[in-house]
Structure formats: structure tokens, C-alpha cells
Copies of this chain bind each other. A is one copy, B any other.
Amino acid sequence: MYHLTALVTLLAIAFYFFVTINVSRARSRTGIKVPATSGHPDFERAFRIQANTLEWMPIVLPALWLFAIYISDAIAAAIGAVWIVGRIVYFIGYSQAAAKRGPGFAIQALAAITLWAGALGAVVLRLV
């Protein structure tokens, strides 16, 4: 069983959920009404944080699980936890200014690519 990977998956979803709720809060704060998605820089940054986090979910979740199945539940969960930390740093930075989104983005990208590359290596080893 993959209890640690399951836990990290649910925590990643919880953080993504928080980022989604944050878009609604940014709507109230800036007065941008649905269905508009632009019109105030603070709202647009909150919206892009959520969109970018969503964009990476189909990269990180399948890579996380394939890494867990082919390599190790504990290592997958540890790297997945780094991904969440990177996403939190990204959220805090980008919420302040677009120019501050770099470090968090780099951390989460590195974690996601590590999961992907590890899983790919392990799958290819089984096939050859």
C-alpha cells in the first residue's frame, strides 16, 4: 500500500483547494464579478496562481503515483511534500508581486521533474 503517497496526494489537493478558494476571496476584495477573469492586478495574480497550480496537477499527480509504484512510497511522498512546499512559497511570493514568483516556482518544478524523471527511468528499466 501507498499510505504516505495517498496522504501527500490529499494534502496537495487541500492546498490546491485553498488556492481555489483564494480566487473567490480575491473577487470579493477587488470587486471583479464572475464570469470576468481580469480587471484588477491583485485579482489577476490570485487567478494566475490558481490556474498555474491547476496546470501542474496533471504533471505532478501521475508522476507522483508512478514514482511511488515503481520506486518507493516514502521517497515519492517526500518529494511530493517538497512540491507542496514549493507551491506554498510560490503562492506567498506571487500574491505579493508577479516578480516574486520565481523561487517557489523553481522548487515545485524541480520536485515535479524529479518525480517524472525517476518514474520514467524505472519504467524504462522494466521494459528493456
Interface residue ranges, A against B (CB under 8 Å):
1, 3-4, 6-7, 9-10, 13-14, 16-17, 20, 33-38, 41, 44-45, 47-48, 50, 54-55, 57-59, 61-63, 66, 69-70, 98, 101, 116, 119-120, 123-124, 126-127
Inter-chain contact B7/A127, CB cutoff 8 Å: yes
A67 to chain B, nearest CB (A): 10
The majority secondary structure among interface residues of chain A is helix
Rank and list the top 8 A-B pairs by shortest CB-CB distance, nearest first.
A35-B48, A57-B58, A35-B44, A6-B123, A10-B120, A34-B98, A3-B126, A7-B123
A1 to chain B, nearest CB (A): 7
